[in-house]
Chains A and B, each alone.
Chain A
Amino acid sequence: MGIELKNITKRFGDTLALNNINLNFDQPKIYGLLGNNGAGKTTMLNIISNRIFPDSGEVIVDDEQALDNDCALNKIFMLSEKNLYPDGMKVERAFEEAANFYQNFQMDQALEMAKQFGLKTRKKINTLSTGYTSIFKLIVALNVNTPYLLLDEPVLGLDAQHRDLFYKLLLEKYANNPQTIIISTHLIAEVASLIEHTIIIREGKILRDMPSEELLSGGYTISGPASLVNEYIIGKQVITQNTLGGLKTACIAGQPDPVPLPENLELGKLNLQDYFIQLMNKEDSDHE
């Protein structure tokens, strides 16, 4: 069961967008696909949902080849920036279309969510503001009830209040009826507490693919007077370090020693966004 990517490679001209990707989405979990702009997130999701084709490799959905396989593809819904609805179609009509196409579409819930967001269902889709176009697409995505839901940058253009509402509706949906959800985003802090499994992609390559908790327990921060920090980090694997005057903070891989910390040093945990930024900085400097 699940979605499996095997040796997926995709080029656009000279750019290697995906470089031999192998991934498994085999549990009903919320997966986070994190990467900077241009890392290959959207390309990967487009390939999973059969919108574009890989140069080599294959996508397997529930043990079946996904390529041009309607049965497999009906299990996947992808939300993306692209608008796939005809100009001039009204929101309510688009909901009906979605219901025709996706058997398990929940019309009553979609209309209820439209009300909560203040989306006017009588309006034509192409007359909606940027924010409400996103909201319209999110509501469809949250109600198609396919086993696999791909959300590509789901909160683009949404204000803080609507983002909050979206995350809550998503969690409610997921808690009541777990499905495999893949959220691609570069807004890491906002999704950090939602995602159970983290995948970090950079320049078409997978850098990390593991449970979020495991990822973050793989390191810690230590801060305090620079001289004390320098002493502490001797013999340890330092991910990054920065100083602010005499104050120094170092990110260290592994677990802190089980002995009391020297006085004036403070121990901290890694958060996902800091971890991500540090990993990217390290990669940048490795490539220089």
Chain B
Amino acid sequence: MLINFDDDRPIFIQIAEMLQDSILSGAYPEESQIPSITEFAVSCKINPATALKGINILVDEGLIYKKRGLGMFVSQGAQEKLRAKRKESFYLDYIVPLLQEAARLGLDKQDLQSMLERGYTDYGN
């Protein structure tokens, strides 16, 4: 797994997002065990305290839980919970920056609408 150290976001946030992405994609299925703090730290070459901080975000959100002496597991319903959360933040994460960039480029509402149409034609659904 790779952390982008040039990314402007703190490393622990990137760890949390990487884990969330992996749960969403099914790489870490519900009720399966996720790698240990040590494995995350070693594989991403980050301090274990940073890895723990990132993982704790998901623990606090109820997406993963700890089994004493056994390790950490993906919670039942984590995928659905994440999807709901991402849908909620979709507007802020994608639509707002899209509109800002469009304004910088001088693209108007109609331009955007036709691009959206083109996107649906090219990439389906």
- Chain A contact residues, CB within 8 Å of chain B: 30, 164, 167-168, 171-172, 174-176, 189, 192-196, 213, 263-264, 267-269, 271
Contacts and interface: CB of A to CB of B under 8 A. Distances in A.
Interface residues of B, number: 22
Contacts of A30: 47
Given A268-B8, A269-B8, A269-B10, A196 B42 contact: no
A246 to B, nearest CB: 15
What secondary structure prevails in chain A residues at the interface with B? mixed
Most chain B beta-carbon contacts within 10 A, residue among A193, A213, A263, A269: A193
Interface in B1-46: 3, 5-6, 8-11, 37-38, 41-46
B61 to A, nearest CB: 21
A171 B46 CA distance: 8
B104 interface: yes
B51 to A, nearest CB: 8
Contacts of A196: 47, 49
B38 A175 contact: yes
Interface of B: 3, 5-6, 8-11, 37-38, 41-50, 100, 103-104
B5 A194 contact: no
Contact of B5 (A193, A263, A264, A268): A193
B10 to A, nearest CB: 7
Given A175-B37, A175-B41, A194 B49 contact: no
Most chain B beta-carbon contacts within 10 A, residue among A171, A264, A269: A171
Given A193-B3, A264-B104, A175 B46 contact: no
A163 to B, nearest CB: 10
Given A193-B5, A194-B47, 19 more contacts: A167-B45, A168-B43, A171-B41, A171-B45, A171-B47, A171-B48, A172-B38, A174-B48, A175-B37, A175-B41, A175-B48, A193-B47, A194-B45, A194-B46, A263-B103, A263-B104, A267-B8, A269-B9, A271-B5
A192 B5 contact: yes
Contacts, number: 51
Nearest to B11: A193
What secondary structure prevails in chain B residues at the interface with A? helix
11 contacts: A171-B46, A171-B47, A176-B38, A193-B3, A193-B46, A196-B49, A268-B8, A269-B8, A269-B9, A269-B10, A271-B6
A164 B45 contact: yes
Most chain A beta-carbon contacts within 10 A, residue among B37, B42, B47, B48: B47
Contact of B47 (A195, A268, A269): A195
A209 B106 CA distance: 48
Contacts of A174: 48
The 4 closest A-B pairs by CB, nearest first: A175-B38, A175-B48, A193-B46, A168-B42
Contact of B45 (A176, A193, A213, A268): A193
Contacts of B104: 263-264
A35 B90 CA distance: 44
A194 B112 CA distance: 44
